[in-house]
Structure 1
Amino acid sequence: MSIHEQLRAAEQHLSQIDPVIGAVIARHGPCTLAARRREPFQVLCASIISQQISSRAADAIQARVAAAFGAKGRIVDARLAGADLDALRACGLSRSKAKWLQHLGAAHSAGALDFTRLRRMDDEAAIEVLDALPGIGRWTAEMFLIFALHRLDIFAMDDVGLRRGVSLLYGKGRALSDRRTLQIVRPWAPYRSVASWYLWRVADPFTETWA
């Protein structure tokens, strides 16, 4: 089954088991998670940039980094590796994020990141490998698995947008506990990544980073 066929199956499954998320699917239409090819390195850069900030802020900062250290809208690994720290910070990055991007650019340009190997790993094994890189924790690894590897059963508990989406849909805007959130999302398996895509539409319909 192709990824597009899997997405249609996911939409049907989610609509059948959860009328609330089903209504969101009906409102926003087909999931475009696999509509465009995302380069793994670009996804990791976007994930680091997006940590702990809004989607709109992340979109703006990523665009500035790509303009200053990229080509044709893509961030270039070697240019990141050799970037001046202050020049990176001028794009809106914290000092920590600037250093992490430098390290990521150096690792990728040197061939130390094996994305083919990561594709062969199961979710938890891939997360463990990515988590060992500076600045890449579990949330960043989960974003990579969803958007670069198209893993369809990931729900990032630490994602602010996802938690906000769940609270809006199931708690009338009131923040829900981890336990209650897990109770809501567990039935979405094996398509929790697809449900997450729709939750991002609820939390911030104008986001470009995770479109």
Structure 2
Amino acid sequence: MGLQPPRALTRESLRRGAEILAGMDADLACILKRLGVPPLWARRPGFPALVQIILEQQVSLAAARTMYRRLYSRLGGMTAEGVHALQVDGLRKLGLTRQKASYCHGLAAMILSGNLDLTASARAADQHGRLALLSVPGLGPWSVDIYYVTALRRPDVWPRGDLALASALRDVKRMREIPGREEQESLTSGWSPWRSVAARILWAHYLDCRGRYLPRENGDQRSEIGDRRSEVRGQRT
């Protein structure tokens, strides 16, 4: 395999990217020596993953996971048809805020109307696919970044609005303050084209520092990260 990553990470390319990053950055090398290469945590692309990400905005991921399971149980699955049929009021009765109920219902409506084709956007060049997702109310830059990292498994995405990653950067780079988005861009630009791999390494570090790192692949262990979004007030989605 060459130095360039594939369009979607595999276990092999994740390991290769980690090896390359270890050779580039001593701090990442120390994490990898301590924890090993993180598993390929991933979600299946599509409507359910986007609903999960919407529910995760501004709350703990544990709370979002509970809400998702409640909605899934009520519908007997997670489909655009089911969410759309519940309407905003029905979603609110299940505990969603009015805003998140509106976002989930609107996402379902766009998919059912054909105004959003998730298969086509995944196949498109990333800049075009991202624009399609950003046109959906409730999907901001952080949400789209997380979808591209965890569902589409793109190798070179850095979710700059992610507090866990910002906190991990502060730790490993021995900074006094949590770096802002521009400073994160400066710190991580040298990790391209493997920034998503670096993010996975730093998520593992963040979890390990809090005693919650369990290296497994049957699910997205970002769900084990505690209140990393609830700590951020007023951030865009």
Is TM-score (shorter-chain normalized) higher than 0.5?
Answer: yes
1:78-117 superposed matches below 5 A: 78-117=81-120
Aligned pair partner of 1:4 in 5, 11, 24: 11
- Would the aligned equivalents of 1:155 and 1:192 in 2 still touch at CA under 8 Å? yes
Alignment identity in percent?
27
Assess, with a 3 A threshold, how the Cα gap between structure 1 residues 18 and 39 changes in structure 2: closer, same or farther.
same
CA distance in 2 between partners of 1:45 and 1:57 (Å): 14
Give the structure 2 partner of residue 67 of structure 1.
73
Give the C-alpha shift of residue 36 in structure 1.
Answer: 5.4
Give the structure 2 partner of residue 38 of structure 1.
44
Assess, with a 3 A threshold, how the Cα gap between structure 1 residues 70 and 19 changes in structure 2: closer, same or farther.
farther
- Would the aligned equivalents of 2:21 and 2:198 in 1 still touch at CA under 8 Å? yes
Aligned length: 207
Aligned pair partner of 1:23 in 27, 30, 45: 30
Give the structure 2 partner of residue 210 of structure 1.
222
Give the structure 2 partner of residue 171 of structure 1.
174
CA distance in 1 between partners of 2:203 and 2:94 (Å): 25
- Would the aligned equivalents of 2:92 and 2:98 in 1 still touch at CA under 8 Å? yes
Q: Cα deviations across residues 37-69 of structure 1 (Å, max 9, x unaligned)?
A: 613212211111111222222222222222223
1:120-199 superposed matches below 5 A: 120-171=123-174, 174-199=177-202
Structure 1 residues without counterparts, runs of 5 or longer: none
Query: Quick one: higher RCO (CA 8 Å, sep 6+), 1 or 2?
Result: 2
CA distance in 2 between partners of 1:161 and 1:170 (Å): 14
Give the C-alpha shift of residue 196 in structure 1.
Answer: 1.0
CA RMSD across the alignment: 2.5
Structure 2 residues without counterparts, runs of 5 or longer: 214-219, 224-237
- Would the aligned equivalents of 2:53 and 2:143 in 1 still touch at CA under 8 Å? yes
